[in-house]
Structures are given as structure tokens and as C-alpha cells.
Structure 1
């Protein structure tokens, strides 16, 4: 697999995450951790079927417990911290801080062997972050009383960026390992749900369809293609391009009639596009 094709596969995750908001709205009756448990259960099942159909179970032999623990902490830790941040701080502010993870991926990638962080990578990531901030943090007003929530959101960003960058160091390990990550995350999410939430199932067909779609796409298959991308693709370009997710998500909500067009969306699109273009140009220049 070439670096270019791996990057393209990784970007599929960004496209799938663009559907996250739409399906989450559809499954809004279901508590977050319960939804997490169901979706990662579906995601893990996808991996079991995929691994069985391709006869690749042998690729999971010899993988240490520490690798499985790392992946589980990455997936479960990110989502648990994100949901906790949204409970402890206003969603706009918490969402903006949590969405530092693509920028952090670009920054942390400079620490990886064989990777070189160039000025245009940084400028592109900063511009794209600005574009995403226009959407994610609309109406945000930071307050000291929500400090703990902001700290959780920052921990969330550090968790996902750290997971993504360290996964690069595990490039020799098959992406089939995500199957175990998902199943373990489903178990931990179930336990957390039973302790912290009341069980509530969708009351409509749309709710059930949305929950299942989340498990097959944004909170399922996305993690397999993301693993391929960060392990074998252009990680700086993937980090910057990830800022397209909130933009695409808003466009999807507009098409569904849930959100309305605005000048902010146009400016955001321009900034994100320029930022991704700069990162792509820098990557081509450095080969």
C-alpha cells in the first residue's frame, strides 16, 4: 500500500465523521455511554466478520497486552472524556477545546522518526483550526467556573492526538487490532453506562436506524480506516484535513434541514480549504 493510498483511506474516516452529528441527533434519546457501548459493539462485530472473512486472525497473534490496552484507552478514554467535558462545560467551549486534536496531531507528528514538520504544515493547521472554530465555537463564552470541564476537553484532545500519533509507531501491527479495541471499549462503555446512566432505547424507527448507522460508520468502520491512515499515510495532511469534519457535518445537517446556511459557513469553508491546501502543498514539496 502506498503512502498516498493510505492517506486517502484515512480520509474516509473524516468523511464518516461528517455524519456523526446527523446520526447523533437521530439517536438523541439514547444516553451517550449507552450509545457508545452499542456503537462500539457493532464496530467490533464489523472487525470480527472482516477478520474471519479474510482469514486474518493470525495477524493478531503475538500482539502484547500493552498494545491492546493502549488502543482501548485511546478509544474509550477519548469518548469518556468528551462526554464528561460536555457535562461539565458548555458544549460550544468544550467542543472547541476538544477539537484541538487535529492541530495537536500535526504538532506531535514532528516527534516521529522520519517525519519533518514544516512551516506550511503549521500555518495550514492553524488556518483550518480557525475555520473549524467558527463553526464549533459559535456563541462560545469562556468562564472560569467551567475550568474542570475545559480541562477534561483538553485531556480529550490530548488523548486522541496521542493515540493517533503513537499508532504511527505501531505501523507493523495489523489494523485488525482495532477489532479488539472496539470490543473492549464496548465493554467498558457498558460498565460506565450502568454506573452513570439510566438505560433508554430509541422510541422510533429513525432512532434505531441512526444508532445502527453510527455503529457501522462514524463510531465503527471509521476507526479501522483511520488506523490505516495514521500508520501508513501522510499524518500531517490527515491532521489538517480532519478540520473538514465539522464543516462537512454542518453541510450534512443543512441538507437534512436541521441547520441553515450562513456567511460563517462560507468563511469557515475558505479557511479550512486554504489550510488543507497549504499542508498538501508542503507535503508534496517535501516528498
Structure 2
């Protein structure tokens, strides 16, 4: 019998997504020169198949059939919209500036979470997320950034990218009764949309050799696959403010992985970012710890369980 899914355990499961996203840069480099929309198609297809296998194994098709259409529309727009806007922003503006603006999404998650029923946004949550953003800025920009007026359309796309993912994450909390297995449908519909746009805008260049296909497979299994399922559990059942703040660990861990792999060099900016992001996470953790919570189980389920989770009262913490 699976262990009961308490709020701390759901938060820990959600943080697995952050760890998986730390591999995104390394695996994306390994999958080169596959264009982004085609890579999206491959990875989202793999991610969707992961969920469908679980649905088949648990006989969860009936549960998926009961999910309202607007939930599938919401999830697909969130997943596909974020990635489409992100890649478009990187093409329309310098990568450092666009990436920095796009990485406003953890801070926006913390801010938007204050609008959720039963949630209370504390100063520690906001300050922690702000420190995390400054730390991420040190990594993404390398200590130097220069915004230029001619790239305003790209900056706007990057900001919309951040709004899309933060809205998707917080909105998933509102749709908490929808089973996490719906993410499989989100992924497959996003794969179809990516594939259609790929045929229109990109040249078809498949991953090169065993290394390229291995990287693409690992992307689909991890950062662009399993990560979406565990993130869904975390934002629905865990401490969403803590998850938002701790998400700034992703660019830090990603850069550390690139350093270990010999693709990037260590720097003082990286060390400063580590201190800022760690400090921000500590502030957010202390703010969350000061809230009265219950250790009662929220729901007993697997990460992609098709069984709907019952609504949780504010008194139970989630």
C-alpha cells in the first residue's frame, strides 16, 4: 500500500521536477542539431506515452474520460504555449536577456499563489523568491546584461512565457481534482501542435547518432516527461510557495552539471548565485515552517495516478 501523500512529501515529489530540469541544458546540447519544435515533438510524445502506459496499467481510461474538456485545453495551452513562447523569445532577443525575463516564472508563482484559497503569502516567501531571481540573473547573464529597444518584441514574448508557466502551475492547483494522468493528454496534444508547426517552420533534422537519440530519449523521459507529472503533484498537493522559490535551483544545478561535464567554466558569479539561491530557499522554508500545518494525509496515490484527488480543506494545509 502506498505511503500517504502528505504536504511535505508532495513538495518533495514536486522538487524532483526541479532536479530533472537541471539536466535540460546538458541533454539539449546533446540532442543538437535537432530544431526545437521537432525536439518538442519527440520529447512530448515520449512524455505522453509514459502516462498512457500508466493509465493502461491501472485501467484509468474511464477516469480520463470524465475529465472536462476545459481541463485538457488549459493543460495543453500551458505546456505548449510556454515552450513555443520560450523558443520564439530566444529567436527574437538575445538569449541572456530573454532567458532572464522568462525566469520570472518562479517569482510569479510565489506572487500568484497568494490569490489561491487557503494560501497565505508571507514576506519570507516573496523575499526568498526575489533572492532566487537575483541569483538566477547572476548565472544567466554572467554578471552583465544590456536591454535594447529593438528587442522589445522578444522581451515581451519572454515575459508572456513566464506568465504562461506560472499561470499553468498555479491554475493546476485550482484544478486539483483532475488526476495527474491528464498530463499524458497534455503532452500528446502538445506533441501534435509542435509537430504541425515544425512542418511549417523548420527543416527536419533528426538527432545525430546514438548520442543524439539517447539525449532526446532522456529528455522525453525526464525534463520534458516525468518532470511534468511530479510537478503536477507538487503544485496541487505541496507547498507551492516553497516550490516556486526552490525552482531557482534549476539554473544553478544546470550550470554546475555543465561545469562538471566540461562544457562551462566555474566562476565567481556561480558561487554568488549559489549563496543567493540557497539563502532564498532558506527564507521561504522558514516562512512555510511558521504556518500551522497538519501531517494528515492529503491523498494516497502514485505520481501519475488516474484517480481524482479529493478537495483538501484549508485547515489541512492544502
Q: TM-score, normalised by structure 2?
A: 0.89
2:276 aligned residue (263, 271, 278): 271
Separation in structure 2 between the aligned mates of residue 148 and residue 222 of structure 1, nearest angstrom: 30
What is the CA-CA distance between 1:203 and the residue it aligns to?
2.2
What is the CA-CA distance between 1:261 and the residue it aligns to?
1.0
Decide whether the 8 Å contact of 2:89 with 2:158 is kept in 1.
yes
2:172 aligned residue (167, 174, 189): 167
Decide whether the 8 Å contact of 2:31 with 2:207 is kept in 1.
yes
Structure 1 unaligned regions, length at least 5: none
User: SS at the partner of 2:116?
Assistant: coil
Deviations 1:157-190 (A, max 9, x none): 0000000001000111110000100000000000
Question: Is 1:37 matched with 2:65?
Answer: no
Show the 5 A alignment for 1:23-62.
23-62=27-66
User: SS at the partner of 2:181?
Assistant: helix
What is the CA-CA distance between 1:32 and the residue it aligns to?
0.3
Separation in structure 1 between the aligned mates of residue 37 and residue 20 of structure 2, nearest angstrom: 20
Deviations 1:117-159 (A, max 9, x none): 0011111010111101100122421100000000000000000
Deviations 1:239-260 (A, max 9, x none): 0000000000001111111111
User: SS at the partner of 1:113?
Assistant: coil
Q: TM-score, normalised by structure 1?
A: 0.99
| The 10-residue stretch of structure 1 (179-188 or 255-264) with the greater mean CA deviation from structure 2 | 255-264
Indicate the residue corresponding to 2:227 in structure 1.
Answer: 222
Separation in structure 1 between the aligned mates of residue 13 and residue 120 of structure 2, nearest angstrom: 22
Separation in structure 2 between the aligned mates of residue 205 and residue 173 of structure 1, nearest angstrom: 38
Deviations 1:26-82 (A, max 9, x none): 012000000000000000000011111222223213211111000000000000000
Question: Is 1:262 matched with 2:262?
Answer: no
Deviations 1:15-36 (A, max 9, x none): 0000000000001200000000
| The 10-residue stretch of structure 1 (56-65 or 139-148) with the greater mean CA deviation from structure 2 | 56-65
2:10 aligned residue (3, 6, 9): 6
Indicate the residue corresponding to 1:185 in structure 2.
Answer: 190
Separation in structure 1 between the aligned mates of residue 127 and residue 208 of structure 2, nearest angstrom: 46
Question: Is 1:103 matched with 2:97?
Answer: no
Deviations 1:233-279 (A, max 9, x none): 00000000000000000011111111111111111000000000100
Aligned residues: 287
Decide whether the 8 Å contact of 2:32 with 2:208 is kept in 1.
no
Separation in structure 2 between the aligned mates of residue 11 and residue 58 of structure 1, nearest angstrom: 29
Question: Is 1:238 matched with 2:243?
Answer: yes
Separation in structure 2 between the aligned mates of residue 89 and residue 255 of structure 1, nearest angstrom: 29
